[in-house]
Amino acid sequence: MSEHPGHPPHTEADPVEINPEPFALTEPAEEKTPGPRPRSRTRTIVLSSLLAVGLAGASVVGLAAWRIASQKDATLTVPAEVAGLRVDSSEDGRSTGDYLQTALSAEVALDEAVGAVLTDGSDKDVLFFGGTTLIWMPESDLETAFGLISDEQGAVTGLHDVPAGPLGGTMKCGTTKSDGADMPVCGWADHGSLALAMFPGRTEADAAALFEDIRSASQKRN
């Protein structure tokens, strides 16, 4: 075949490669990234409950720590005079006071201890004794101290809480037997002090009120 002028010479075209795999006629859709799984309601409730318990526990611990810190540094002295009562400075009065504080110190570990007989000149002498130290469990130590009176006079019965007054802590009163008659016994304890008193010839109501007066006059905090 003759070549025509003005036309490029005929050459054999390069072969066309075809992908053997099928191909899409449209662009592939973008893959969706899975979002965060919704939080289980049960798990949320459990976590909330644990948080509430944790906060409640922290508040209880904080309150206990505050109470210990505010009560631990206490001093206790026998008031020279309170509610018409004076310290019995006779030989019998002094020896009885020494015996009471020694007996209490043998049962409860105290840093300082006091003891005295308070009298108004009648037969209604008040036997007062106590001491100071750091007390972790006031109510438990107070029960131990009441056990001392039980050993000496007979069991203290009918123990019950009475108002502790502005100094706080725990205060209880009950009765024991003395010469066949009921004798009121009261005691207080906080994180810094513990004291007891016996009130022969008085009613329990009078004893509780008088004991609060004695505490107010004898206990101080630093």
Alpha carbons 157 and 222: distance in angstroms, whole number = 35
Alpha carbons 158 and 146: distance in angstroms, whole number = 12
Predicted confidence at residue 179, as pLDDT, reads: 80
CB 123 within 8 A of CB 136: no
The single residue listed with the structure tokens 């006031």 is 138
Does the structure show a pLDDT above 80 at 52?
A: no
Which of residues 3 and 80 earns the better pLDDT score?
Answer: 80
Mean pLDDT of 174-202: 92
Predicted confidence at residue 2, as pLDDT, reads: 45
Burial (0-12, 13-18, 19+ Cβ within 10 Å), 57: exposed
- What CATH number is given for 74-221 in this structure? 3.40.1000
Does the structure show a pLDDT above 90 at 184?
A: yes
Mean pLDDT of 28-41: 57
Tokens matching residue 119: 């009298």
Question: Which of the four pLDDT bands, split at 50, 70 and 90, describes residue 123?
Answer: confident
Does the structure show a pLDDT above 60 at 9?
A: no
Does the structure show a pLDDT above 70 at 36?
A: no
Which of residues 131 and 1 earns the better pLDDT score?
Answer: 131
Nearest to 125 by CA among 161, 76, 90: 90
From residue 162, alpha-carbon distances to 10, 34, 137, 159, 193 in Å are 123, 66, 18, 9, 17
Alpha carbons 142 and 119: distance in angstroms, whole number = 25
Predicted confidence at residue 59, as pLDDT, reads: 56
Which of residues 178 and 199 earns the better pLDDT score?
Answer: 199
Does the structure show a pLDDT above 60 at 23?
A: no
Predicted confidence at residue 122, as pLDDT, reads: 84
Does the structure show a pLDDT above 50 at 69?
A: yes
